[in-house]
A and B are shown apart, each in its own frame.
Chain A
Amino acid sequence: DIHMTQSPSSLSASVGDRLTITCRASQTVSIHLNWYQQKPGKAPNLLIYSTSSLQSGVPSRFSGSGSGTDFTLTIDSLQPEDFATYYCQQTYNIPLTFGGGTKVEIK
């Protein structure tokens, strides 16, 4: 199985901050890396797919980059509605696997 490691597991930030979350795969996943946002009690929501493609309707302050084993999700100018948990997911090999999540809290 491909193991996905996210860091940090949690962080505190302020509105307006620029945030970077990293995701490392235990082996290459090519560009097949997605990012989801989840708020408490809600289903996850797709933000970024195929490493860097912005899902329709997602604000442009979200961006993704990377390839192979190392990926990043960046949020420019954090907004109040961005406080949530973020997950990466590889869809290169079965079983598809998620990272452990990064919880973004208000400082």
Chain B
Amino acid sequence: QVQLVQSGAEEKNPGASVKVSCKASGYSFSTYGFHWVRQAPGQGLEWMGWISAGTGNTKYSQSFQGRLTITRDATTSTTHMELRSLRSEDTAVYYCANTRGTWYGAHLDYWAQGTLVTVSS
């Protein structure tokens, strides 16, 4: 069965970077893409970006102004989300979710358990 498993919780100082991983299993990795979505404490969902697992093509929300990079490694069936120059407002649970095909008309079918990233001095 399809399973997405993320890396563990992180605590970072302001200005640092964080890299969260999401390992996929139970399906052909390259046939899906991945979205990254975050949720600040008590708040709604915010879409961050998408990567095609097959081609590596990406789309990002401009809200992250060049601080965000999403990558994938087909050899380990893993996608990574790196966010740089962290500030307190980046404290959130970060989720990966997969989707068939491209971002257009996508629906986020399976979600990982989420990773809490806390930014505090």
Give me the interface of A with B, judged by CB distance under 8 Å: 32, 34, 36, 38, 43-46, 49-50, 55, 87, 89, 91-92, 94-101
CB of B67 closer than 8 Å to a CB of A: no
CB distance from B104 to the nearest CB of A (A): 7
**A36 x B44 contact (CB < 8 A):** no
Give the residue of B63, B95, B104, B112 whose beta carbon is less than 8 angstroms from that of A95: B63
Nearest A residue (CB) for B108: A46
Give the residue of A45, A98, A101 whose beta carbon is less than 8 angstroms from that of B47: A98
Give the residue of A44, A87, A96, A100 whose beta carbon is less than 8 angstroms from that of B103: A96
**B114 x A43 contact (CB < 8 A):** yes
B55: chain A residues at CB < 8 Å are none
B59: chain A residues at CB < 8 Å are 94
Nearest B residue (CB) for A97: B47
B63: chain A residues at CB < 8 Å are 95
Known A-B contacts A87-B45, A97-B47, A98-B46; the reply to A43 vs B104 at CB < 8 A is no
Contact with A along B36-57 (1 / 0, CB 8 A): 0100000011110010000000
Give the residue of B44, B60, B107 whose beta carbon is less than 8 angstroms from that of A91: B107
CB distance from A99 to the nearest CB of B (A): 8
Known A-B contacts A43-B114, A46-B108; the reply to A96 vs B35 at CB < 8 A is yes
**A32 x B105 contact (CB < 8 A):** yes
**A91 x B45 contact (CB < 8 A):** no
26 A–B contact pairs at CB < 8 A? A36-B108, A43-B111, A44-B95, A44-B108, A44-B111, A45-B111, A46-B108, A49-B107, A50-B105, A50-B107, A55-B109, A87-B44, A89-B45, A89-B47, A91-B103, A91-B105, A91-B107, A94-B103, A95-B60, A96-B50, A97-B47, A98-B37, A98-B44, A98-B46, A99-B44, A101-B45
